[in-house]
Each structure stands twice: as C-alpha cells, then as structure tokens.
C-alpha cells in the first residue's frame, strides 16, 4: 500500500499528523468546544426554508462576495461596521489562512503566544510562513510588556492574539492589544472565536478598529451560535484588508447553501444565542467546583475550562474516557480542557472527576 513516504510530498510536511480531536461515540463529549444545545426547531425550519429556496438555482454560482451575508454580519457586530469592513469564509480557520496567504508567505513570519490555538502554526506551515512561538508568563498570562518585548525582538509580519485564549480560556487585557498594535510592524490578528462567552466588562478588539488599518478581528458562528456544522467564520477590519483577502480567496468559496443557512441563523440569533448564559453558568460552576476540590484552574471567558490534574494528563484523560466522558488533551503536561455543556453533562464530568 502506498504511504505518504512514497509520494513527493513537501519535506516540511513529512511526519506530521492532521489537526483534529478524537471523534468517539461516548455518552458525554466535551472535547471540541461545541455548543451542546441542538438548534431550536423554529430555527431548523427557517434554515431549511432558506436552503430549499436556493436549490432550484444550484446550476448557478453563488454570490462570489457574499455581500448580503456580510451586511448581516456587520449588523450583528455593531460598532458602526458595514459590509465593506467584513469578510466571511468557511470557518475562521479559512479566514486566518487567507490572511496568511495575503500578509504572510515565503520569506515572512507569523508570531503567536503559546499555548494558544494549535491551528495557527499549522496554517503558517501550509502557507509557507515561518512560525515564531512566543511565550506566556506565569499561569499562561500575557502582559503588555512581555508581548511587546517579543514582538520587537522578532518583528513578525503577522501577530496572532487570542482573546479569549484557547486552550486557557482567559481574555486579554485591552492594553496588550493596544501595545502590540503600537509595536508590531505588520498585521495584528485578534482571534475572538469565543467572544460571546466573555465575562461582563470584557472589551472586544472591535472597539479599537477605527484608526487601526493593520488590526483584524476574527470571529466564528461555530461556538455561541451552535453553527459548527454550518462552517461560517468571518473577520472585521479596514476595507483595505477585505480587499487584500479577496486577492487570495478561491472563486465562489462560500456556497449558496452556506450563505443562505448562515443568513437564516443570523436572523434568528436571539434564539440561537439564548444558550450562552446557560453555558456560562456551567463554565463558572466547573471552575468553582474544581477549585473547591483543590485543582488549579485557569480563569475562563470561553465555553471551556483548562484544569490541572495530578500526574500525567494522558492518564487522567483515559480514566475519564473509561467513565464515558471525553475531554481534550491539548498537550500541556498536567492539564486537560473540558467544554462547558448542559447541566447533565457537567454533572457527569464532575462525578467522573470525583471518582478518579
């Protein structure tokens, strides 16, 4: 049987594994930060009608620039944004890939503060962009001074900031974003995939977009909207940034069905986002109960919690799996990550933790 080693694959891809978390059939799946609540029936009906309306014209290409969808996304984000300042693609991963295609590439570099979203270095690799793993401080924190020192040292073409950060869950101090913007010679991308779950008072980088043409804020409908299967991510930035990513996007990259489904979901955002408060309550419950039991737990503004375990984290991961609870081993020695789901799922997770 032919293997990758038998093919003329790029040398820098040899020996790597595809990105992905285990997709196992277990009673409680809390490893991929999905929204545990199913799409409400009225929204299912609305999305079904919107998609059905597109079926007869599938012989035609979709709106290449998804203008109506971008206008809807801009209205959702607020902050005075218009369609010219928003771009959409198949998940925020594709958005970030397009940004690296436009502003990174061979001879250029991208920097991120690890641990952070593990797709960023893979996206850099795929686009021929040199990846620079900058470091975080104590308990995975990041101060403005720490960030600026490393940005000035490496002078990257693209800086990735995650707020809230994945896998730690903590939102950034706005001072960090401001300081990095002042110090970075190139683009600054703030990944806000979990922004809707942030604790009250958390400031989005959307607030500082005016006057900062090198700032990009990326978002997704996968988490808070419970639209992970719909694959819709987007960015907000200066119109010139939108023009730049249009140079590298594939023709008709967003299908007519995706655009229709996403617009229907946005039209019913109150119903879809109605689960956010409940998920935040379970997140805070997990944090409080684990800390009460003596675990170290990172502060979370997301729909997941990073927590410490005794001994090897892989041992604890397997012990939880044996009890039907699937969490995420993100590769941090002594730490695991669990998604905040329904009250019943939280019960199952906490009970399993007590038993191990």
| 199 and 135 both lie in a single domain | yes
| 74 and 202 both lie in a single domain | yes
In a domain, 11, yes or no: no
| 254 and 312 both lie in a single domain | no
CA distance 320 to 305: 15
| 219 and 315 both lie in a single domain | no
Structure confidence at residue 118 as a pLDDT band (50, 70, 90): very high
Q: Which residue has the tokens 């989005």?
A: 204
In a domain, 287, yes or no: yes
Total domains in the chain come to: 2
pLDDT at 85: 98
Q: How many helices (H) and strands (E) does the chain have?
A: 12, 11
| 50 and 32 both lie in a single domain | no
| 207 and 309 both lie in a single domain | no
In a domain, 319, yes or no: yes
CA distance 275 to 161: 26
Domain boundary among 226, 249, 268: 268
In a domain, 56, yes or no: yes
Q: Residues 127, 98: contact at Cβ < 8 Å?
A: no
Q: Residues 209, 238: contact at Cβ < 8 Å?
A: yes
Q: For residue 137, give the H/E element and its range.
A: none
* Mean pLDDT estimate for the chain: 96
The CATH number that applies at residue 317 is 3.90.1150.10
Structure confidence at residue 18 as a pLDDT band (50, 70, 90): confident
For residue range 304-313, list pLDDT tens digits in order.
999 999 999 9
In a domain, 3, yes or no: no
Domain boundary among 233, 249, 268: 268
Structure confidence at residue 22 as a pLDDT band (50, 70, 90): confident
Q: Is the pLDDT of residue 124 over 90?
A: yes
| 309 and 342 both lie in a single domain | yes
Q: Is the pLDDT of residue 19 over 90?
A: no
In a domain, 318, yes or no: yes
| 118 and 238 both lie in a single domain | yes
CA distance 298 to 306: 6
Q: Residues 111, 156: contact at Cβ < 8 Å?
A: yes
Which residue would you say has higher pLDDT here, 6 or 121? 121
| 61 and 31 both lie in a single domain | no
For residue range 240-283, list pLDDT tens digits in order.
999 999 999 999 999 999 999 999 999 999 999 999 999 999 99
High-pLDDT (> 70) share of the chain, %: 100
Q: What is the rounded (10 degree) CA torsion for 65, 68, 70, 72?
A: -170
For residue range 78-113, list pLDDT tens digits in order.
999 999 999 999 999 999 999 999 999 999 999 999
> Domain range holding 286?
23-39+270-354
pLDDT at 192: 98
In a domain, 302, yes or no: yes
| 138 and 159 both lie in a single domain | yes
| 103 and 230 both lie in a single domain | yes
pLDDT at 274: 96
For residue range 322-341, list pLDDT tens digits in order.
999 999 999 999 999 999 99
The CATH number that applies at residue 260 is 3.40.640.10
In a domain, 243, yes or no: yes
Q: Is the pLDDT of residue 21 over 90?
A: no
| 236 and 348 both lie in a single domain | no
pLDDT at 75: 98
For residue range 133-155, list pLDDT tens digits in order.
999 988 899 999 999 999 999 99
User: What does the DSSP assignment read for 276-315?
Assistant: HHHHHHHHHHHHHHHHHTT--B---SSSEEEEE-SS-HHH
Domain boundary among 237, 268, 299: 268
pLDDT at 6: 86
pLDDT at 308: 97
- pTM summary value: 0.96
Q: Is the pLDDT of residue 47 over 90?
A: yes
Q: Is the pLDDT of residue 69 over 90?
A: yes
């Amino acid at each position: 049987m032919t293997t990758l080693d038998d093919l003329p694959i790029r040398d820098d891809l040899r020996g790597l594994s595809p990105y992905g978390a285990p997709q196992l059939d277990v009673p409680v799946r809390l490893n991929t930060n999905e929204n545990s609540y199913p799409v409400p029936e009225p929204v299912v009906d609305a999305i079904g009608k919107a998609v059905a309306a597109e079926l007869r014209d599938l012989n035609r290409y979709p709106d290449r620039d998804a203008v109506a969808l971008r206008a809807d996304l801009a209205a959702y984000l607020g902050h005075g944004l218009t369609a010219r300042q928003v771009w959409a693609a198949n998940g925020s991963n594709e958005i970030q890939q397009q940004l690296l295609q436009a502003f990174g590439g061979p001879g250029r570099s991208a920097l991120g503060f690890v641990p952070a979203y593990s797709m960023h270095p893979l996206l850099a690799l795929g686009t021929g962009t040199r990846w620079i793993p900058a470091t975080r401080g104590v308990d995975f924190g990041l101060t403005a001074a720490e960030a600026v020192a490393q940005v000035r040292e490496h002078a990257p073409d693209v800086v990735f900031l995650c707020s809230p950060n994945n896998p730690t869950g903590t939102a950034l101090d706005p001072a960090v974003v401001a300081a990095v913007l002042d110090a970075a010679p190139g683009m600054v991308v703030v990944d806000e995939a979990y922004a809707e779950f942030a604790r009250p008072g958390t400031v989005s980088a959307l607030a500082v977009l005016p006057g900062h043409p090198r700032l990009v804020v990326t978002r997704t409908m996968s988490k808070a909207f419970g639209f992970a299967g719909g694959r819709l991510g987007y960015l907000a930035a200066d119109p010139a940034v939108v023009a730049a990513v249009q140079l590298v996007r594939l023709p008709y990259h967003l299908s007519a069905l995706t655009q229709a489904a996403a617009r229907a979901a946005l039209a019913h955002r109150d119903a879809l986002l109605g689960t956010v408060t409940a998920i935040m309550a379970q997140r805070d419950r997990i944090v409080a109960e684990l800390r009460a039991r003596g675990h170290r737990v990172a502060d979370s503004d997301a729909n997941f919690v990073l927590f410490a375990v005794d001994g090897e984290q892989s041992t604890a991961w397997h012990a939880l799996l044996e009890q039907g609870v699937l969490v995420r081993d993100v590769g941090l020695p002594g730490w695991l990550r669990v998604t905040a789901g329904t009250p019943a799922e939280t019960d199952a997770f906490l009970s399993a933790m007590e038993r191990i």
